[in-house]
Amino acid sequence: MNNEDVFYDAVTGLDSDESYERVSEASYKDAKGFDCSSQTNNGSVPQENGIKKHRTSLPAPMFSRSSMNIWGILKKCIGLELSKITMPIIFNEPLSFLQRISEYMEHTYLINRACSLSDSIQRMQAVAAFAVSAVASQWDRTGKPFNPLLGETYELIREELGFRLVSEQVSHHPPVSAFHAESLAGDFVFHGSIYPKLKFWGKSVEAEPRGTITLELLKLNEAYTWSNPYCCVHNIILGKLWIEQYGTVEIVNHSTGEKCVLNFKPCGMFGKELHKVEGYIQDKSKKKLCIIYGKWTECMWSVDPQAYEAHKKSEKKGDNQKTKKTEALGKPENDEADDMPEVLETVSVVPGSTLLWRIESRPAHSVMMYNFTNFAMSLNELEPGMEATLAPTDCRFRPDIRAMENGNMDEASREKERLEEKQRAARKDRAKLNEEWRTRWFQMGTNPYTGSQDWIYSGGYFDRNYQNLPDIY
């Protein structure tokens, strides 16, 4: 292992249930009654009602991670930024961070909904629901995505969802991933750059969100910007891993001056606030026009502010009757692990509320597949004919990720080390020649809505002119 493995997202590579053991693909197929293959016998891409079908599982289930001693790796990192840290490959999930970013687009229908609405407040509601849905895939996803190599790219075209996306690793130190998605119908552009700052706090890893996300509704001449909430993974050393998101997310409509303020609530002493999101939409004079509430793991609703306040008052009366019993119990003592509070109830829906978004159920076998959603299952799929059209720098061609996906952990580890050695050698060669790295598809520029520096897509990727790309694999 080397010392240049960079943590991405708020993930550390541990499994939320450390009891899983390696099983063969054949026995797993027989036990669960499904086939890992995503292709028909003649090699063509399967279709259903004219729509391309994507695979619904990985070629092999995940390995057990229970034998690894992560404390030996992390004990010297308490309070420090996790910018350089060695992590065994078994703590990864078989996706690149560039592919993980593309999971923002799973709920593209919310952007399409915003494009179809004539009222700006309703559009903001749809955009707010999209911003929350973009982090929903992180629920129980405690595997660490692979760090993109400098110059690595990923493209994703989903005709059934109406978008195409390209991303590029534009910097290695510090690590920065830039992405650009656009509507196939010309309705929107969604873009940004992600470079989270992570710290290890003994029993947890915290990710501070860095980077601006921009959504442009082209036909409406509107632009929205926001940043993601903080994310924390608990019980890095001992106990069951669990994730919480917290912090304030402000979504600004730069065309109307309207703003949505979302408070991702921290867990709290007794876990009552776990996963909860609560906020409001205000006009440019700061008048609250509606309340938005729910859970980032479940659903989001909107309601009139007066109805919401009345409901909260009635709830508070009921809670007061339970206070003495709760205080008598006190905070449970636990010096070894931060136990995840038991989630006893779903969102309490205020009468008169409108549903904005609800998460889709994960497949039954997700627990054996790194807790992937159906959308995530398909991201590293290499369909027939793709080799001829994809850029040679695309994540799907990474041999370490492909080996891990196929269940060959030894090969994955060897390939990961080889790729990192190759990356270091290329960097030394550039230093000898006094050459600077040049990005291909993104350039540093000014975000016209925030005025801050950002990585802007320079175009041309889908022209398929892939000459003179770096040999990174």
- What is the share, in percent, of the chain residues with pLDDT greater than 90? 59
**Strands (E) located in 399-460:** 442-446, 453-457
3-state SS assignment for residue 249: strand
Query: Residue 115's pLDDT is what?
Result: 98
242 confidence band (pLDDT: 50, 70, 90) = confident
CB 281 within 8 A of CB 128: yes
Lowest mean pLDDT among 164-178, 330-344, 346-360: 330-344
16 confidence band (pLDDT: 50, 70, 90) = very low
- Segment of 204-208, 221-225, 226-230 carrying the highest mean pLDDT: 221-225
Query: Residue 41's pLDDT is what?
Result: 38
Query: Residue 267's pLDDT is what?
Result: 80
Closest CA to 58 of 419, 363, 361: 363
Query: Residue 421's pLDDT is what?
Result: 95
**For 19-29, b where at least 16 C-beta lie within 10 A, e where not — what string?**
ebeebebeebb
- Bridge partners (DSSP) of residue 260 are 251, 281
Q: What is the pLDDT of residues 309-352, one digit of tens each?
A: 998 888 776 665 554 454 444 444 444 566 655 655 578 899 99
Q: Please tell me the distance from the alpha carbon of residue 312 to that of residue 310, in angstroms, as a whole number.
A: 5
Query: Residue 148's pLDDT is what?
Result: 95
CB 427 within 8 A of CB 352: no
Please report, as a single letter, which amino acid is at residue 307. Answer: A
Q: Does residue 228 register a pLDDT over 80?
A: yes
Q: Does residue 280 register a pLDDT over 60?
A: yes
Cα–Cα distances in Å, from 407 out to 27, 155, 195, 411, 413?
14, 24, 29, 9, 11
Q: What is the pLDDT of residues 372-401, one digit of tens each?
A: 999 999 999 999 899 999 999 999 999 999
Q: Quickly count: other Cβ atoms within 10 Å of residue 240's Cβ.
A: 16
Cα–Cα distances in Å, from 217 out to 101, 113, 187, 221?
20, 11, 6, 6
Query: Residue 174's pLDDT is what?
Result: 86
Query: Residue 35's pLDDT is what?
Result: 38
Q: Is 349 exposed, middle or buried (0-12, 13-18, 19+ CB in 10 A)?
A: middle
Q: Please tell me the distance from the alpha carbon of residue 4 to that of residue 268, in angstroms, as a whole number.
A: 35
Q: Does residue 45 register a pLDDT over 90?
A: no
Q: Please tell me the distance from the alpha carbon of residue 339 to that of residue 240, in angstroms, as a whole number.
A: 7
Q: Does residue 7 register a pLDDT over 50?
A: no
CB 217 within 8 A of CB 182: no
The H or E element that residue 144 is part of is strand 144-146
Structure tokens at 4: 């240049």
103 contact partners, CB below 8 Å, separation of at least 6: 134, 137, 373, 375, 376, 379
Query: Residue 97's pLDDT is what?
Result: 93
Query: Residue 151's pLDDT is what?
Result: 97
CB 57 within 8 A of CB 377: yes
More confidently predicted of 26 and 430: 430
